[in-house]
Structures are given as structure tokens and as C-alpha cells.
Amino acid sequence: MRLPLSKYVWFDGKFILRDKAMIPITTHAIHYGTSIFEGIRAYWNGKNLFVFRLDDHVKRFRRSGQFYNILLNFSDKEVTDAITGICKKNKIKKSCYIRPFYFVGDYGINLHVTEKAPTNMAIFSFPFGDLFNKNGITAGVVSWRKFSDMSTPPQAKMGGNYLNSIIATQEAKRNGYDEAILLDHNGNVSEAPGENIFIVREGQLITPPLSSSALEGITRDTIIKIGKDLDMDVLEKDVTRNELIISDEIFLTGTAAEITPIISMDDKKIGNGKPGNITKKMMEEYSDIVMDKNEDYSHWLTPVY
């Protein structure tokens, strides 16, 4: 699938035409997955384009590389300006997805990556609507386990880590599900290939802890904060596979997936097989926040224009 990329991309400090962005075949990241990326959304509300939680994305962007001493050669301000800049340069007035990434460049076949390894950074963007059916999707637990801190750091949002997501997705699709759920190294629920997971039981909002190798998702954090602000019980605790099946509601969170209800898990209906009330409330709150309709959270929005 070719993405409908905006005309200009950003590459190592400059805006260039998308077809002019080229890298050598010896690029280290292609061979070893030494790339770091963020997925960011910007929302057009008819008046302005708002980038959601930009500062938090930039923070995680830099931190991911630090696990491996891979340097981001641009300051937080430069990265922030480049991200809003790509929207301005392309005159974007539609909700879109923005993908900044940096990677180890021409570094031979050397596995000893140090701060001295050359890195490049780029950003592209494309118009983006719903990733999943917002009326609800099916999910199934897969046999592949989420990798843990015992092998590679789950909090580093790096290209190589996503092979685990890819093989999990392949298995879920083969089994006829829309999305995979991965268990952690202890057999508790971790997350989906590109989303965090929440369950609702007896009115409590529960999500697996980071010790279950879940990514510290920015949407996960958003839902935790909204839940607490609504005076709900929000718990970060181990979730067993069994609890998934008997939960009243399940939803996924992620920049791309936003809030997506799961209406069937391992072929068992969740609740009445429709998005539950708490899930629907979270979807509404989230959509109001990103569209600048709730001023309590407007500090999470960076206006582009």
C-alpha cells in the first residue's frame, strides 16, 4: 500500500520533495532495525490544525534512542518546529498522521553502535481517518509473547521491536481476528501490536502495568488522566487472560487507533457485543479533547496556524 504522502517531506533539517528523499542501501537501520519513530496525529477542527501531545511525543522520541546510544541530532525545539513546519509547508488543512523518525545511517555492518554512529532524521505526513472500525473490532490472543526487558527494552519505540508486532498480527489475521492481543513473559495480558489495552470491570478501568511490557502509550496516559478526572477508579494492574473474557468492556488505545472498542475476544462476545457505555464515554471525551472542544485539556494541543 503506497501512502498518499504530502508533497514535501523533511529530511535532515530541510524540506524537500518526497521523491527526492533517498538513503543508501548500506543504511544500518535497514539491516538491523536501528530506527526510532513516533506516530503523531494532528486534528483539523474547521478553524485550526492541532497536534496532539506534541511535547510528550518529542520526549519519548529522544528517550527511545537513548536506550541504544543512538543520537537525535536535533534539539527538541528543532524537532517540534519541524513537525508543525511539515504541516505548514504542505498547507495541511485536514486531520493527518505525522511520522518523525531517525535512524543509524551509513555505518557498515558494525553491531557496536555508539554515539559516534551517524544518524539521519526525516518526517513525512499523510491525511488519516479511522484506523479501525469504531463500532468495534474482534481480537484474539496469539501464541507469540510480547518481548520483555529480559531481551530488549519495550519502552524504546524502535523499528526492530515491531517484528514482534508483525508476527502477532499475522497470526491474528490468519485466525480471522481484526487484531492480536499479546501476553507478557508471565502469561498476563500485555498489549496489542500497536495499541495499549484497557478493560472495564464493575465500573473500574484497568490497564496492564509497564512491567507487563506494555508501551507507555500517550493515549494510555490520556485515558488514565480522563478517567481520574471523571472520578473513576483507574487501576494499573496485572490482567489475566481469563479476566479479558469476563470483562464488561474492552478497548484499545493508541495514536493511530485512538479509542477502539473490542466487541469480541477469542470468539466470545464482550458485554452485549456492542461498545460499552464507559468505552463510548472515553471515545467522546477523547474526540472532544483532540478537536479543542474541552478547554480543560487545551494544554495538550499545539496549534499549527
Ligand X SMILES: Cc1ncc(COP(=O)(O)O)c(C=O)c1O
Q: Binding string to ligand X for residues 25 to 64, with x set by CB under 6 A, is what?
A: --------------x-------------------------
Name the 3-class secondary structure at 170. helix
Which one, 65 or 254, has the nearer CB to ligand X?
Answer: 254
List of residues 6+ apart from 46 with CB closer than 8 A: none
Residue 96 as a binder of ligand X (CB under 6 A): the answer is no
Query: What does DSSP say about strands 35-37 and 179-183: parallel, antiparallel, or unpaired?
Result: unpaired
Residue 218 as a binder of ligand X (CB under 6 A): the answer is yes
Residue 220 as a binder of ligand X (CB under 6 A): the answer is yes
DSSP labels, 74-103? S-HHHHHHHHHHHHHHTT--S-EEEEEEEE
Tell me how far, at minimum, the Cβ of 252 lies from ligand X, in Å.
Answer: 9
Binder among 254, 261, 275, 276 for ligand X (CB under 6 A): 254
Q: Which of 77, 157, 173, 237 is catalytic?
A: 157
Which one, 212 or 253, has the nearer CB to ligand X?
Answer: 253
Name the 3-class secondary structure at 141. strand
Rounded distance between C-alpha atoms, residue 174 and residue 176, angstroms = 5
Rounded distance between C-alpha atoms, residue 279 and residue 257, angstroms = 13
Q: Binding string to ligand X for residues 234 to 253, with x set by CB under 6 A, is what?
A: -------------------x
List of residues 6+ apart from 223 with CB closer than 8 A: 198, 205, 207, 253, 259, 282, 286
Active site residue 157: yes
Tallying the residues shown for the chain, one arrives at 305
Residue 194 as a binder of ligand X (CB under 6 A): the answer is yes
Which one, 122 or 252, has the nearer CB to ligand X?
Answer: 252
Residue 219 as a binder of ligand X (CB under 6 A): the answer is yes
Which one, 179 or 249, has the nearer CB to ligand X?
Answer: 179
Footprint of ligand X (CB under 6 A): 39, 191, 194-196, 215, 217-220, 253-255
Q: Which active-site residues does the annotation give?
A: 157
